[in-house]
Structure 1
Amino acid sequence: MAVHARDPISRAGVVSQLRARPEVTLEDWAEGANEAPEILLLVADTVDDEVLRLLRYIQRSTTARTVLVVTEIDEQRLANAAECGVAGILRRSAATPEHLVDVIGAVAQGAGHLPPDLIGTLLGEVARLQSKVLGPRGLHFSGLSEREVNVMRLVAEGHDTSEIADRLAYSERTIKNVLHSVMTRLQLRNRSHAVAYVLRQGLI
């Protein structure tokens, strides 16, 4: 893992806490480097435009998972950080060596981390987006519309196009268009690939 901070004092403080921990191996990293470590720990006062720019760069250019240590964060900044692929967030006031190592370990294993009070905030934001933005457009967080979910569920059950059309009271052409749209949007090769994908991703 590597530690990145705007000011050298913040970076030195975090590095000194982690250097003695056998659970982590510290590496150097700078924006523009050819390779990035498994975990990037970013230290900042808040999630401002510069932090968001760096998070987007990391998301776009590396396979690293990002942990963000911040002094303050609110609902909007949490949403912005989540959009940029942050896997873990903790406040500086809670960033003891033990807690840092726990969060880094969880993120390295594919889990995420948020302070408990932010979990409710994030769930509220998800509900708001579903009801105010996605729902009125017939969309869900799965990336599939309700009609697409129904069609893919019947395909997974082994029904052919005409049977699906009969069950859902659509034309066969509509069913074919729905399947084509799903496979094109998700870059899937055929129906079998589509079924395997949506089942594996928990979309149906």
Structure 2
Amino acid sequence: MGNPLSLCVVALDPLLEAGAVAALSGDPDIALVRPEERADVAVVIFDRVDRQELDLVAATGAGPHRPAIIVIASDMSPAEAAEAINAGARGLLRRHEVNADRLARTVRTVAGGDCTVPPELIDGLLDQSGEADAYHGSRGRGPDWGLDERERAVLRMVADGRETDEIARELCYSPRTVTTVVRDITQRFRLRNRAHAVAYALRTGLL
């Protein structure tokens, strides 16, 4: 087993902070640190996705150590999820969905450079995207704009934190095909990695 991941918890409400710390304190793979210390991952917790909260996400991710950010909110709409990712979040969770195991898995996912978003939020964004596609189509956007169905299916599962082999099994593709699809997306839109691809797709309505 390697060194534990360092993690800090940031919350506007001290009670929310204490609950997250308690949930993670028993995991031997996670070392809790203070917000001002170096952290691989920062968990940012709040009730509403509002401007003050989004500024907190951005400020936490822009700190000297640039931790990967997980946002936990009481609730969030697809549009608010896109705003949180645009502010720098790599992982999104609703408070009623969180338990110690799921939070620990999300920490490991974002620390590894991936992005995870609740599937129903992605479904909402897909609905919004369908309306956007119709709008852009009426304005003469070409057929190569956006993502095809295979690309959307793969990227949705990447957003849900799935590994390449797992995506390949579920979609009946080879792992090489999944890797190629993700690489094609990142190259087409000049993105850095899988997490950036998911963030970009959510932010721009491609997903």
TM-score, structure 2 length as denominator?
Answer: 0.60
Distance in 2 (CA, whole Å) between partners of 1:44 and 1:120 is: 23
Q: Tell me what 1:41 maps to.
A: 43
Superposed displacement of residue 17, structure 1? 1.2
Q: Tell me what 2:113 maps to.
A: 110
Distance in 2 (CA, whole Å) between partners of 1:7 and 1:93 is: 17
Amino acid corresponding to residue 2 of structure 1 in structure 2? C
Question: Which of 43, 46, 70 in structure 1 is aligned with 2:73?
Answer: 70
Distance in 2 (CA, whole Å) between partners of 1:83 and 1:45 is: 18
Is 2:16–2:45's contact at 8 Å kept on the other side of the alignment?
Answer: yes
Distance in 2 (CA, whole Å) between partners of 1:131 and 1:67 is: 32
Q: Tell me what 2:22 maps to.
A: 16
Which structure exhibits the higher relative contact order, with contacts defined as CA atoms closer than 8 Å and separated by 6 or more residues? 2
Question: Which of 188, 193, 197 in structure 2 is aligned with 1:203?
Answer: 188
**Matches for 1:135-150 after TM superposition, within 5 Å:** 136=139
Amino acid corresponding to residue 71 of structure 2 in structure 1? L
Which stretches in structure 2 are left out of the alignment for 5+ residues? 1-6, 148-182, 190-207
Amino acid corresponding to residue 49 of structure 1 in structure 2? R
Distance in 2 (CA, whole Å) between partners of 1:36 and 1:125 is: 38
Question: Which of 16, 26, 29 in structure 1 is aligned with 2:32?
Answer: 26
Q: Tell me what 2:13 maps to.
A: 7
Identical-pair percentage:
23
Superposed displacement of residue 114, structure 1? 1.5
Q: Tell me what 1:90 maps to.
A: 93
Distance in 1 (CA, whole Å) between partners of 2:111 and 2:91 is: 10
Distance in 2 (CA, whole Å) between partners of 1:199 and 1:105 is: 25
Q: Tell me what 2:197 maps to.
A: none
Of the structure 1 ranges 38-47 and 133-142, higher mean CA displacement relative to structure 2 is found in 133-142
Amino acid corresponding to residue 118 of structure 1 in structure 2? L
Distance in 2 (CA, whole Å) between partners of 1:2 and 1:122 is: 29
TM-score, structure 1 length as denominator?
Answer: 0.61
How many residues are paired up?
Answer: 145
Amino acid corresponding to residue 187 of structure 2 in structure 1? G
The superposition leaves residues 126-158 of structure 1 with CA deviations (integer Å, 9 ceiling, x where unpaired) of 45455546995969569xxxxxxxxxxxxxxxx
Amino acid corresponding to residue 51 of structure 2 in structure 1? D
Distance in 2 (CA, whole Å) between partners of 1:110 and 1:66 is: 11
CA RMSD of aligned residues (A): 2.9
Superposed displacement of residue 106, structure 1? 0.9
**CA separation of 1:125 and 1:64: change in aligned 2, threshold 3 A:** farther
**CA separation of 1:17 and 1:124: change in aligned 2, threshold 3 A:** same
**CA separation of 1:124 and 1:200: change in aligned 2, threshold 3 A:** closer
Q: Tell me what 1:81 maps to.
A: 84
